[in-house]
A and B are shown apart, each in its own frame.
Chain A
Amino acid sequence: MTSSKMAYREGKKAWLILADGTVFNGFSLGAMGTTIGEVVFTTGMTGYQETLTDPSYFGQIVTQTFPLIGNYGVNTVDPESSRIWLRGYIIREWCYEPSNFRSQSTLGEYLSNNDIVGIYDIDTRALTKKIREHGVMNGAITTKWPDDMDELLEKINAFTIKDAVKSVSWDAPHYFPSKDPKYNVVLFDFGFKRNIARSLNNRGCNVTVVPYDSTLADIKKYEPDGIMLSNGPGDPAENTEVIANIKEIYEKSDIPILGICLGHQLMALATGGRTAKLKYGHRGANQPVVDKKIDRVFVTTQNHGYYVVNDSVPEEVGKISHYNANDGSCEGVEYNRPYTFTVQFHPEAAAGPQDTQYLFDRFIDNIEAHKNEK
């Protein structure tokens, strides 16, 4: 029973090596070995287990800016997907002795069991500032000091996130029934978070999660009243096949659509918009977003490195409905196609504020209205 701060008794050394050669000394957390990924930071102060299991972090090494992680342990309920997707985990201090009535295990064990290489005792603030100033940077965590640093740096610099969506998506449909079913919703799995399905279930939707590359023909058999495009990892423009599929749905069906995060970006790309990479992304649970329609600001959960370029959405296609109150970037589009809107942030939260759950209600209203038209 000791604190992680008593590393001289317990800790095995580990290093964080950034693409520019910067080295941070720390101690090993979780699995032993070497991992390479894109180093990003998130400012959320709670919800580390949700972060670990969020498929949108595929290919990334995630830094927590809040210094005390693992305080309330880990459990089997909070994961947002079936496993940990991120490639490495960087924190300041981890808590050996978590305290919470739901805690079943410690963060360290959880990472080990999922074979995730992590590092702690890092000055995460200095690291965050570096990423802020330099932009997203590749890096590696290793528990063995490299024999050939140049070789490792070469590997780090060569790393790119590829086939992200394909890697995280289920390859067969899954069904999530509602207790009080009123509608059928098809949820495209680009790396969906469970709370999206849960949020829909709670609103009377039977949810069929379909593989990322499903086509209009594929989903028709589920007789969807609505379509959800999920969040997911990677560069949206890479997904040319998916974009074409969405274009088809957009043009050849009138089923109401709600897109979240990657789903929002893919929809924009499918309809003539452009996406670009943010310098260091929006990751955290405190991003203010203005909903222009109702003239309100909401605190939102976000996790994205790319965004829809503000003036890239053609006027005949739709208009920006939400924007980020901090940097003015596009946070949502209302499409001219009836009952179609997408947002960059995460109304399903998990982790983070639940203030924009009303967007699911808006989606249900759209479904209802669309049904009534028939």
Chain B
Amino acid sequence: MPLRSDIHKVLVIGSGPIVIGQAAEFDYAGNQVCRTLREEGLEVVLINSNPATIMTDKTMADKVYIEPLIVPVLKKIIKIEKPDSILPTMGGQTGLTLAMQLAKEGFLEEQGVKLLGADPVTIDKAEDRQMFKDMLESIGEPVIPSKVVTDIDSALEFADNEIGYPVIVRPAFTLGGTGGGICETRKELEIIGSAGLRQSPITQILVEKCVSGWKEIEFEVMRDAKNNCITVCSMENLDPVGVHTGDSIVIAPAVTLADKEYQMLRTSAIKIIQELGVEGGCNCQFALNPDSFEYAVIEVNPRVSRSSALASKATGYPIAKVASRIAIGYSLDEIKNAVTGKTFACFEPALDYVVVKFPKWPFDKFVYAKRTLGTQMKATGEVMAIGSFFEQALMKAVRSIELGLETLNLPKLKALSDEEVHDKLYDCDDERIFVVYEAFKRGIDLETIFDITKIDRWFLSKINNLVYMEWFLGDGELTEEKYKDAKDLGFLDSTIIELSGQKPPKRIPAAFKMVDTCAAEFEAETPYFYATYDEENEAAEFIKEHSTGKKKVIVFGSGPIRIGQGIEFDYCSVHCVKALKDAGYEAIIVNNNPETVSTDFDISDRLYFEPLTPEDVDGVLETEKPWGAIVQFGGQTAIKLTKHLTEKGINILGTSADDIDAAEDRERFNELLDKCGIPQPEGKTAFTTDVAVREANELGYPVLLRPSYVLGGQNMIIAYSEKDVVEYMGIITRNGELENPVLIDKYLMGQEIEVDAVCDGENFLIPGIMEHIERAGVHSGDSISVYPPYALSQSVIDKIVEFTGMLAKELHVLGLVNIQYVYYQNTLYVIEVNPRSSRTVPYISKVTNVPIVDLATKILLGETLESMGYKPGLVPSGDYFAVKVPVFSFPKLTDADSQLGPEMKSTGEVLGIDKDLESALFKGLLGAGYELHKVGNIVLFTVKDADKADALTVARKFEQFGYEIYATKGTCSYFNEHGMHAHHINKIDEPEPNTDTIFDTGEVDFVISTSKIGRDPAMASVQMRRKAIERSIATLTSMDTANALANCLLSGKTLDSVNMVDINTI
């Protein structure tokens, strides 16, 4: 069937801000969808609150709304745009749930809007626990014994009397399994079950027999309206059932299944998608008993997902693209396979390599968060590695994950005794694979490790191979054969030399193979490569055959999504590639993140899916022999390669390595500021705890501590006392001596300002200045940021422009620079200068109409601002205010403190755009998930002394809005002393009724809480904030945020009073 004739205008719903469980994969999907629909001549209306995405670029759709993803907003937009259809299956759980709500309310029918790809019945059958069970039973597919309950007593009764413990709790309709978990005992079920019920928007959980230890297998299935089905890819989790698939190490294709088991599950997956009637893509997860043919269906996602993004990258089969064509009427045999150009979408990719996915967890940021992995996903991102062998792919993945590891040796495990290593095998956490490796090294045998971990012996044996190779390398002559074997197993030359003490007899360079969906059966033209160690280098052949005579430029990507280095950098990388191609260059991407747009094989001229380490990158350089390389768009991951590339004699386009160092090296930077006469907070450096304490005491508290060369304020704190300094230095030095010093700065609680500037070496352009709502101290990535500035005087703005120009010139910035200022007691200070792209670039590009990355890239190629028609200096602000509001993933991270500070904690962001600041802020807050109307009756205050005065101001505003103010002892006395009535409530560690008691009433809408020290989950203040988060109560830890929110409430803004802004009209 060709394109349906009843579809002309399609609304695509995005997935909103990046949170744990819903990340860049939906930008990748959305990007493919929008491109595909427009290729088909359809009008596309897009809504997504996330401004950091590529899909919200103006050119991606006919109408682009960066508006809150909530039902009333969608209704408003549907009424304005009158689309005839909605594609709900591309925006993750968020998009699907919204579309469902609209459908169920009858709104879509009323407006004459069709749902494409899946109808409400389909979605319910997949998502509603009971209907899902019934559906599977009706087609004879096995389910794990379970029961849907809506109260905790029924849960307990079912577990006690029918299935026994352990059980798994799965809340209905939550992201990434939020609120679920394994309960070993009745007591645990009471706790986890109750939490799950609260988390579920429909107060419903599934209590399920625990089959942890079974194999976890996934299939990605496609179906069209004719009922044609194919499976794109199978995937096997290294971690058996029990660990969320998003937190599992995954291999594709499945490797431990014989054809009988494989086909059994494949057939089941096809039966399921046919029964559901999905038109598009679907993900089926199975638990398979390792000792029999017994299996059970765990979960089905009737939409594109993280797994489908992975499967797309793992096979070269563009699931989202094909799914959108199916949704608008095409059948699988009518859609061309873009990879071969010869075959059709109705085949199953054949792989001649293996793929390993490795999660990236945020535990380096949340040092106190519980690292245990279970049914609730905790990873913020992931990497993928491709190799000819499992070991090779695993080693590449470990290098890509940026833990500073070249092998599976985790240094901190070396200090453990054999017994401790053995016992640590029981901990199912983010480090388990490294513990397994260490266990093999300590001589613990495979069966023992298997008994404890239930990781399939196949994987264990492969991991053991790496241990053997390490031994062999250290033993005897490094022969050619031994060296080749080590390379095949993924060892770097540097590791081989280190372990063997010998130089390789004859270095084997990386050879690149093509990812072609068909195991070389057909000739393919995909410029998508991975490295292995064979004689034939297909990339080199490809380059020869497709020689264009154009200059080649390599763009280094930003690796896995993590806090502080998110999707924004992928946005920049992709735009850089586009600009390069536009300017007549060949653009080559090296990256390892399967979720992103940059690793879509038709973005660049060539894509290399490789770790971003010096040696891995060398292989690409040798094959490509590029004219130049660009590192400034790939975050710290790419910046880190600067030194190596310079040493290799690579032409780095942009700010030189030396100038980057001048911005990052404390002493050189001081000199530079002195020379320019630009003030900065007084600062010192230290390598050791002793020196740090001495310097901090000298500067006077509070001081800001941070390591040099970081992004996202990793390991950054405000220390109020010597004790804080000692604690901090303890954490930062726990992995050994520091390579770079810790920076200690006087902490100034002033107005924070941020600029991005494009510089051509002579002139500079500031597209816009951003002013933060929160004063310094809250990391810029966690601050609400307003464009254009709302309270700065012209003289301060002039000063910012002046300083920016001076810094750009002095640092010889070519391309982008991001500068952070603080305005404190009538003085403008520079806090930080980063000569690279930043996370604000995408949104500023969109609201100012200045194509920042495009300009920067062209400057790197020799253009000047003037030659491109831009007048240097500050671009006059437009008619719109744009407010960026951070979004956090605290509910997923047990024991992580939500108190904001200088270390970044947010995972994503939303934008509110409108003609006035109040409306823009209102929309930003709505988009970030705040309820901006009264639900309950109470606002709770419990703040540290330094915040009490500000808290009082805020409390008065909440009171004025009609809230009852509750406060803990100190705060309450302060309020009452200052003539504002507050109810006293006990703290969480004081007798009931306490804060917990009122949380349980559901009456508390906001908690405003700060404490002098946080982080440690043993502290009452942290526990209280955790409780509030578990109960989905908005928790604010900056008086400035709380004040802004209170103002917003008082402003009386409603959705009726704000405009829906198509950013194409800005």
Binding between chains A and B:
yes
For the complex formed, measure the closest distance between the CB of A359 and the CB atoms of chain B, giving whole angstroms. 15
Is A342 in the interface zone, CB < 8 Å from B?
no
Contact between B258 and A72 (Cβ–Cβ < 8 Å)?
yes
Is A312 in the interface zone, CB < 8 Å from B?
no
Closest A residue to B234 by beta carbon equals A45
Contact between A325 and B489 (Cβ–Cβ < 8 Å)?
no
Is A177 in the interface zone, CB < 8 Å from B?
no
Distance in angstroms between the alpha carbons of A325 and B600 in the assembled complex: 26
Contact between B230 and A299 (Cβ–Cβ < 8 Å)?
yes
Residues of B within 8 A of A128 (CB): 352, 519-521
Is B349 in the interface zone, CB < 8 Å from A?
yes
> A2-B465, A66-B519 given as contacts; is B352 within 8 A of A326 (CB)?
no
Contact between A125 and B519 (Cβ–Cβ < 8 Å)?
yes
Is A98 in the interface zone, CB < 8 Å from B?
yes
Is B129 in the interface zone, CB < 8 Å from A?
no
A residues 288-305 near B (Cβ < 8 Å) are 288, 290, 295-299
For the complex formed, measure the closest distance between the CB of B451 and the CB atoms of chain A, giving whole angstroms. 14
Contact between B262 and A46 (Cβ–Cβ < 8 Å)?
yes
A residues 62-92 near B (Cβ < 8 Å) are 65-68, 71-72, 75, 78, 92
Interface of A is mostly: loop
B residues 316-345 near A (Cβ < 8 Å) are 331-333, 342-344
Closest A residue to B263 by beta carbon equals A354
> A123-B534, A126-B536, A325-B333 given as contacts; is B389 within 8 A of A65 (CB)?
no
Residues of A within 8 A of B389 (CB): 5, 67-68, 93
A residues 310-338 near B (Cβ < 8 Å) are 325-326
A residues 39-75 near B (Cβ < 8 Å) are 41, 43-47, 49-50, 65-68, 71-72, 75
Q: Which of B292, B352, B482, B485 contacts A66, CB < 8 Å?
A: B352
Q: Which of B227, B259, B350, B489 contacts A78, CB < 8 Å?
A: B259
Distance in angstroms between the alpha carbons of A70 and B19 in the assembled complex: 40
Distance in angstroms between the alpha carbons of A97 and B463 in the assembled complex: 12
Closest A residue to B256 by beta carbon equals A99
B residues 222-251 near A (Cβ < 8 Å) are 226-231
Is A240 in the interface zone, CB < 8 Å from B?
no
Contact with A along B713-753 (1 / 0, CB 8 A): 00000000000000000000000000000000000000000
B residues 386-429 near A (Cβ < 8 Å) are 388-391
Contact between A97 and B485 (Cβ–Cβ < 8 Å)?
no
Contact between A67 and B347 (Cβ–Cβ < 8 Å)?
no
Closest A residue to B518 by beta carbon equals A43
For the complex formed, measure the closest distance between the CB of A211 and the CB atoms of chain B, giving whole angstroms. 29
Contact with B along A339-373 (1 / 0, CB 8 A): 00000000001111111000000000000000000
> A50-B259, A325-B333 given as contacts; is B521 within 8 A of A288 (CB)?
no
A residues 235-283 near B (Cβ < 8 Å) are none
Residues of B within 8 A of A299 (CB): 230-231, 346-348
B residues 878-901 near A (Cβ < 8 Å) are none
Is A1 in the interface zone, CB < 8 Å from B?
yes
Is B266 in the interface zone, CB < 8 Å from A?
yes
B residues 245-291 near A (Cβ < 8 Å) are 253, 255-260, 262-263, 266-267, 270, 290-291
Contact between A5 and B465 (Cβ–Cβ < 8 Å)?
yes
For the complex formed, measure the closest distance between the CB of B277 and the CB atoms of chain A, giving whole angstroms. 15
Distance in angstroms between the alpha carbons of A2 and B389 in the assembled complex: 14
For the complex formed, measure the closest distance between the CB of A349 and the CB atoms of chain B, giving whole angstroms. 7
Contact between A355 and B260 (Cβ–Cβ < 8 Å)?
no
Closest A residue to B480 by beta carbon equals A8
Contact between A325 and B350 (Cβ–Cβ < 8 Å)?
no
Is A124 in the interface zone, CB < 8 Å from B?
yes
Contact between B344 and A325 (Cβ–Cβ < 8 Å)?
yes
Is A152 in the interface zone, CB < 8 Å from B?
no
B residues 80-100 near A (Cβ < 8 Å) are none
Contact between A123 and B255 (Cβ–Cβ < 8 Å)?
no
Closest B residue to A97 by beta carbon equals B461
Distance in angstroms between the alpha carbons of A65 and B253 in the assembled complex: 13
Contact between A47 and B259 (Cβ–Cβ < 8 Å)?
yes
Contact between B257 and A72 (Cβ–Cβ < 8 Å)?
yes
Residues of B within 8 A of A72 (CB): 256-258
Contact between B262 and A8 (Cβ–Cβ < 8 Å)?
no
B residues 455-512 near A (Cβ < 8 Å) are 456-458, 461-462, 464-465, 468-469, 472, 479, 481-482, 485, 488-489
Residues of A within 8 A of B519 (CB): 43, 65-66, 125, 128, 284
> A93-B389, A288-B346, A326-B344 given as contacts; is B489 within 8 A of A99 (CB)?
no
Distance in angstroms between the alpha carbons of A362 and B429 in the assembled complex: 52
Is B353 in the interface zone, CB < 8 Å from A?
yes
Q: For A326, A350, A352, which residue has the most chain B Cβ atoms within 10 angstroms? A: A326
Residues of B within 8 A of A49 (CB): 258-259
Residues of B within 8 A of A287 (CB): 347
Distance in angstroms between the alpha carbons of A312 and B454 in the assembled complex: 57
Residues of B within 8 A of A5 (CB): 389, 391, 465, 469, 485, 488-489
> A46-B259, A353-B263 given as contacts; is B390 within 8 A of A132 (CB)?
no
Contact between A296 and B228 (Cβ–Cβ < 8 Å)?
yes
Contact between B465 and A297 (Cβ–Cβ < 8 Å)?
no
Interface size for chain B: under 10, 10 to 19, 20 to 34, or 35 or more residues?
Answer: 35 or more
For the complex formed, measure the closest distance between the CB of B504 and the CB atoms of chain A, giving whole angstroms. 14
Closest A residue to B350 by beta carbon equals A43
Closest A residue to B479 by beta carbon equals A8
Is B523 in the interface zone, CB < 8 Å from A?
yes
Residues of B within 8 A of A6 (CB): 465, 468-469, 472, 485
For the complex formed, measure the closest distance between the CB of A17 and the CB atoms of chain B, giving whole angstroms. 16
Is A100 in the interface zone, CB < 8 Å from B?
yes
Distance in angstroms between the alpha carbons of A72 and B459 in the assembled complex: 12
Distance in angstroms between the alpha carbons of A33 and B344 in the assembled complex: 42
For the complex formed, measure the closest distance between the CB of A126 and the CB atoms of chain B, giving whole angstroms. 5
For the complex formed, measure the closest distance between the CB of B316 and the CB atoms of chain A, giving whole angstroms. 13
Distance in angstroms between the alpha carbons of A31 and B462 in the assembled complex: 25
For the complex formed, measure the closest distance between the CB of B689 and the CB atoms of chain A, giving whole angstroms. 45
Contact between A326 and B534 (Cβ–Cβ < 8 Å)?
no
Contact between A284 and B521 (Cβ–Cβ < 8 Å)?
yes
Is A214 in the interface zone, CB < 8 Å from B?
no
For the complex formed, measure the closest distance between the CB of B951 and the CB atoms of chain A, giving whole angstroms. 60
Closest B residue to A287 by beta carbon equals B347
Q: Which of B226, B342, B343, B350 contacts A45, CB < 8 Å?
A: B350
Distance in angstroms between the alpha carbons of A359 and B485 in the assembled complex: 47
Closest B residue to A47 by beta carbon equals B259
A residues 100-127 near B (Cβ < 8 Å) are 100-102, 123-126
For the complex formed, measure the closest distance between the CB of A96 and the CB atoms of chain B, giving whole angstroms. 8
Distance in angstroms between the alpha carbons of A286 and B488 in the assembled complex: 28
Q: Which of A68, A78, A101 contacts B390, CB < 8 Å?
A: A68
Contact between A290 and B259 (Cβ–Cβ < 8 Å)?
no
Is B105 in the interface zone, CB < 8 Å from A?
no
Closest A residue to B343 by beta carbon equals A326
Residues of B within 8 A of A95 (CB): 458
Closest A residue to B482 by beta carbon equals A8
Distance in angstroms between the alpha carbons of A98 and B255 in the assembled complex: 10
Q: For B256, B513, B536, which residue has the most chain A Cβ atoms within 10 angstroms? A: B256
Distance in angstroms between the alpha carbons of A354 and B472 in the assembled complex: 45
Q: Which of A46, A71, A92 contacts B388, CB < 8 Å?
A: A92
Is A3 in the interface zone, CB < 8 Å from B?
yes
Contact between A3 and B344 (Cβ–Cβ < 8 Å)?
no
Distance in angstroms between the alpha carbons of A352 and B489 in the assembled complex: 30
Is A186 in the interface zone, CB < 8 Å from B?
no
Residues of B within 8 A of A78 (CB): 258-260
Is B917 in the interface zone, CB < 8 Å from A?
no
Residues of B within 8 A of A296 (CB): 226-228
Q: For B270, B291, B351, B521, which residue has the most chain A Cβ atoms within 10 angstroms? A: B521
Is A179 in the interface zone, CB < 8 Å from B?
no
Residues of A within 8 A of B342 (CB): 326
Residues of A within 8 A of B545 (CB): none
Please name the 10 residue pairs, one residue from A and one from B, whose CB atoms are nearest each other, closest first. Answer: A47-B259, A8-B481, A99-B458, A65-B519, A351-B259, A43-B350, A286-B348, A3-B465, A99-B457, A46-B259
9 interchain pairs, CB-CB under 8 A: A1-B468, A71-B255, A71-B458, A72-B256, A72-B258, A101-B291, A123-B536, A284-B519, A285-B350
